[in-house]
Amino acid sequence: MKLIFATHNDHKLKEVQQLLPESIELLSLKDIQCFNEIPETGETLEENAKIKADFVTQTYGLDCFSDDTGLLVNTLDGAPGVYSARYAGEQKNAVDNMTKLLLELDGKENRQAHFKTVIHLNLEGVSYTFDGIVEGTITTEQYGLGGFGYDPIFKPNGYNQTFGELSSETKNAISHRGRAIQKLVNFLKNRTL
């Protein structure tokens, strides 16, 4: 089965490829010659995931899934949330985003947060949605060079290391994206049985 993942993000693509069975050939936007920056104009993660998948399906006529992920910090009323990738500006720089978040949390005791990923799948004319959540806390500084985005400052509950320090295998097994992708994989496997 060929499936388009509506992303230009090589880190995300690699992470998702590691989670999918070999029977699913994952193609990126580059693979279908889509170099457009699909605007994420939704006010929720669900809306943004749908916008991206629908763009590919309507423009290219291909089965597709997309995701949108946000980091939601309790004491900041869920910010950065849907604006996680561009929290510190349209340049979408991870270091800038982490720096801004750490400054906003400076001196705050409650550092609880969660990552949420929403996947929207368009398959054979029908749409499906899957999500995954992982709870954790925001550290006071960056730890580790692994992962991407906010990974070096997010420590999942039950672990003494951030996503930036954990192995990709461990992170994929417990992460928000890993959980959402696993729901997608289980759904696809059941369809092919």
Q: Mean pLDDT in the chain? A: 92
Q: What is the pLDDT of residue 92?
A: 87
Number of domains in the chain: 1
Contacts (Cβ under 8 Å, ≥6 apart) of 112: 73, 74, 75, 135, 136, 137
Query: Tell me: the pLDDT tens digits for 160-179?
Result: 999 999 998 899 889 998 89
Residue 68 a catalytic site member: yes
Confidence of residue 192 (pLDDT cuts 50, 70, 90): low
The closest alpha carbon to 5, from 40, 41, 30, belongs to 30
Q: What is the pLDDT of residue 144?
A: 94
Percent of the chain with pLDDT strictly greater than 70: 99
Q: What is the pLDDT of residue 17?
A: 84
Whether 158 shows a pLDDT value over 80: the answer reads yes
Query: Tell me: the pLDDT tens digits for 74-107?
Result: 999 999 999 999 999 988 899 999 999 999 999 9
CATH number at residue 146: 3.90.950.10
What are the structure tokens assigned to 102, written together? 């750490």
Domain, as residue range, for 101: 2-192
Which entry of 10, 31, 67, 68 is annotated as an active-site residue? 68
Q: What is the pLDDT of residue 141?
A: 95
